[in-house]
Structure 1
Amino acid sequence: MIKRKITEEIKTLAKEFPIVAIMGPRQSGKTTIAKHIFKKYKYVSLEDYDKRKIAMDDPRGFLKQYDKNVIIDEIQRVPELFSYLQTHIDEIKTNGSFVLTGSQNYLLMENITQSLAGRVGLATLFPLSLEELPTENKSNIYEVIFKGFYPRIFDQKIRPSSFYKTYLNTYLEKDIRLIKNISDYNLFLKFLKLLAGRSGQILNIQTIADDVGIANKTVESWLSILETSFIIYRLQPYHKNYNKRVVKSSKLFFYDVGLVCYLLGIKKPEELENYYQFGNLFENFIISDLMKYNYNYGELANFYFWKDGHNNEIDLLIESGNKIKVIEIKSAQTFREEFLKNMSKFSKLEKTKKVEQFLLYGGDENLQYKGTKIISWNSLKNLKKTKIFE
């Protein structure tokens, strides 16, 4: 098993809460990590019809059999169980008694917030980060982006095209059917492919609706489905008023760039070398990797981008306490001073917080230039040393 960096965070949550819920996209390794951390716990999956029927017909009897130190997988399949679980944990008063996992995050979170608020420590397990990848898969940026980061690709030596084809079919057939009754899967897939082509761009609901041939409210509904199932996320703009008009629409990103490559019809890593949107894919890869670190180590930093009315833009702002890390992301392999100009403009505008400047780029060398840390993408293999989160 590939060692996951979120392990210590999950162990800490188990000491603080009676229930730990491990969220995350399908196939990110939630069940695997739960069994690895809690080796002595009983395990029950409610995908099993017999177990599910017992839990539905006799929830008290089910919790008597699985009373503590148990991993319950796919618990969202029996939503009635949550209210009984609330009463049960209030009686036993022992932290770390239950570990819950599930692949329909929307349904899982809905039941947690309704019945178990304040009793659950939440951990979000994404696909692998760059520092978690097996060593032999970290050297070539085009291969890294093409393959993506789902554990099974590396554990089972599965071709990315085979994995993502199966992944999408399972996602459309299982998750989408449970979350929302979408009858036209082909139209939804067209929507998903169109979003892949706009990864790293400002989100324009009207344009997407026109291009797919659906209503604006349908676009919003489908985006919400993709967000709750950890396929996409929206990076929000930094709204602080610097007496300049700022862009207020969010930017669209995918949690996994390998899935984006598959949706775009990219067949092999070499195609990325001259791909016209490689800069967007590289930006998506960098921001997602930083976001994984934020979750894996229990950081509380907020992520934004910034763009004013004159098209001055910063790819990423990481705000934590009285600091703002200003990060530009460039896929170019050679550093140029012009990459820093928008960061300098932003730093002059920000008067209340300490600003630190970083450039993450496609080259191999780490440099220091006029107060800016210039960091190779390869350094994300040991992200702590970059001091981005200090």
Structure 2
Amino acid sequence: MQQLVKRNITQHIQDQKNKFPIIALTGPRQSGKTTLLKNIFKDYRYISLENPDVRAFANEDPKAFLNEYNDKVIFDEVQKVPLLFSYLQGIVDDSKIMGQFILSGSQNFHLIQGITQSLAGRVALFKLLPFDLSELNADNLLEDSFTNTCVKGFYPAIYDRDIQPSVYFANYIQTYVEKDVTELLNIKDLQAFRTFIGLCANQAGQLLNLSALANACNISQPTAKNWLAVLESSYIIYLLQPYHENFNKRLVKTPKLYFYDTGLLCHLLKIKSGKALTTNRLKGNIFENMVISEFQKQNYHNYLNNEYYFWQDSHANEVDLLKQTDDGFAVFEVKASQTITADLFKNLDRFELNASPKKVEKTLIYGGLNNQNRSQYKILSWKSIK
């Protein structure tokens, strides 16, 4: 299975395969995990635990199963047979072979649970998300219009097979999201869950309002919290946490909600074209979502282990993204505008004032195409994030 777009994570996985007995790769369904692993580990056997016959063998007789598949094996959707994790621990502890097993799974909760309980210290864990901007740029697949890019999204099949985003995402929700939901939760009313996902889309780029989500779906707050956790563990949404250091001001402590993929987000919001997005009231939120998610994707794909936050005080002064540096902060303001005006820098300046005397690196990421280095700011096109 040939990989069309080179994935940035490839080299980092190759770097670790001789240092850990197990490599684990997680990420959303259809993000390209199987293709990537088959390309990296060409001499490994590939075993999918989605296959009911294979899964039954593994569940009923794990010892015999692992005698059959005991070296240079890729186990896909391994979280479906959780008892394998403890058996793998014994095998790799005895063999001391590096890169003996490759694990892959699309349900983060069960995969991470299995690793932390049985395989801690034995696994190099990676996350593969849909394409990032630098991957598409490298293959000349990135348009100059951020509106078209947001609507198209970043899932490999859309680029590899030239599928219309509206067709792809309608099937994605029905086939994958609801499949994960029914496996993780006993939801009898899938329509209510579809409504819930749509309401999450309307909150993208905003402070999470759990009570509003619960009330609108006529469910309890604990149920809404569980449903949100399922969307997180299936890599549909994530919560960006606020930075809490108090610069003598009251700070917001509620996370902001984002989608990993803006194509799915636009589909849920019924935005079907870049032209439609241009005039949509949520254009700024969707652009911000794409940019913030880009930092998350490049963080995982380049194995950086950075921690990102946003900052907002009780007067709604905020910076969209914040990262601590050795001597202060790197802060980012995200604006869909293609015209640079002095007003776009005010939140960055306000944060610098609050953070004084710590050093603050200030960057504006905007909807235009030209980069600039000014004396106090870096101005970065959305296409140039790296």
3-state SS of the aligned residue for 1:26? coil
Asked if structure 2 preserves the Cα contact closer than 8 Å seen for 1:124 and 1:295, the reply is yes
1:196 pairs with one of 198, 201, 209: 201
How is 1:9-158 mapped onto 2 (pairs within 5 angstroms)? 9-133=12-136, 134-158=139-163
Instruction: Give the aligned partner of residue 313 of structure 2.
Output: 308
1:330 to 332, 335, 340: 335
Asked whether the equivalents of residues 233 and 255 of structure 1 are also in contact (C-alpha less than 8 Å), the reply is yes
- Aligned residues of 1:362 and 1:376 also touching (Cα < 8 A): yes
Q: Given the two structures, how large is their TM-score scaled by the length of structure 1?
A: 0.95
Q: Tell me if the contact between 2:177 and 2:234 (Cα under 8 Å) persists in the aligned partners.
A: no
Query: Which amino acid is the alignment partner of residue 304 of structure 2?
Result: E
> SS of the residue aligned with 2:363?
strand
Alpha-carbon distance between aligned partners in 1 of 2:379 and 2:285, rounded to the nearest angstrom: 19
2:26/2:126 contact within 8 Å kept: yes
Contact 2:144 2:369 in 1 (8 A): no
Give the Cα separation in 2 of the matches to 1:211 and 1:177. Answer: 21
Instruction: Select 1:168's aligned residue among 168, 173, 197.
Output: 173
Kept in 2: contact 1:172–1:185 (CA 8 A)? no
Q: What is aligned with 1:386?
A: none
- What is the rounded CA distance, in whole Å, between the counterparts of 2:337 and 2:80 in structure 1? 47
Assess, with a 3 A threshold, how the Cα gap between structure 1 residues 179 and 351 changes in structure 2: closer, same or farther.
same
Q: Which amino acid aligns with 2:329?
A: I
- 1:228 pairs, out of 226, 233, 244, with 233
Q: Is residue 211 of structure 2 the alignment partner of residue 206 of structure 1?
A: yes
Equivalent AA in structure 2 for residue 306 of structure 1 = W
Residue identity (%) = 46
Contact 2:231 2:237 in 1 (8 A): yes
Residues in 2 aligned to 1:310 and 1:125: alpha-carbon distance in whole angstroms: 37
Amino acid in the other structure paired with 1:45: S
1:216 counterpart = 2:231:
no
1:173 Cα offset (Å): 3.6
The Cα of 1:54 is off from its aligned counterpart by: 2.0
Q: Tell me, in whole angstroms, the C-alpha distance in 2 between the residues paired with 1:172 and 1:297.
A: 26
Partner of 2:184: 179
Report the Cα distance in structure 1 between the residues aligned to 2:177 and 2:279, rounded to whole angstroms.
31
User: What are the Cα deviations for residues 316-339 of structure 1, in whole angstroms up to 9, with x where unaligned?
Assistant: 102244341110000000001111
CA apart distance, 1:41: 0.8
Give TM-score scaled by structure 2 length: 0.96
Q: Answer yes or no: is the 8 Å Cα contact 1:300–1:320 preserved in 2.
A: no
User: Any stretches of 5+ residues in structure 1 without a counterpart?
Assistant: 384-390
CA distance in 1, matches of 2:79, 2:243: 35
Distance in structure 1 (CA, Å) of the matches to 2:238 and 2:177: 18
Determine if the alignment matches structure 1 residue 293 to structure 2 residue 298.
yes
Deviating above 6 A after TM superposition, structure 1's stretches of 4 or more consecutive aligned residues are: none
User: What SS class does the counterpart of residue 207 from structure 2 fall into?
Assistant: coil
1:317 aligns with 2:322: yes
The answer on whether the counterparts of 2:133 and 2:142 sit within 8 Å (CA) in structure 1 is no
Contact 1:305 1:314 in 2 (8 A): yes
What residue is the counterpart of 1:240 in the other structure?
Answer: 245
Aligned partner letter, 1:346: F
Deviates more, 1:123-132 or 1:204-213: 204-213
Distance 1:162 1:347, change over 3 A: same
Structure 2 residue aligned with 1:257: 262
Kept after mapping to 2: 8 A contact 1:301/1:320? no
State the distance in 2 between where 1:370 and 1:173 align. Answer: 50
Equivalenced residue count is 381
Q: Which runs of 5+ in 2 are unaligned?
A: none
1:63 is paired with a residue whose SS is helix
**Post-superposition shift, 1:104?**
2.2
1:301-324: CA deviations, max 9, x gaps? Answer: 211111112221111102244341
Deviations 1:155-183 (A, max 9, x none): 11111111111110112442111111111
* 2:364–2:378 CA contact under 8 A, matched in 1: yes
Instruction: Indicate the RMSD between aligned Cα atoms, in angstroms.
Output: 1.3
In 1: Cα distance, 2:98 partner to 2:278 partner: 50
- Equivalents in 2 of 1:233, 1:370: separation in Å? 34
Residue 244 of structure 1 and its aligned partner are, at CA, apart by 0.7
Work out whether residues 19 and 96 of structure 1, in 8 Å CA contact, stay in contact via their aligned partners in 2. Answer: yes
Whole-angstrom CA distance in 1 between matches of 2:368 and 2:308: 24
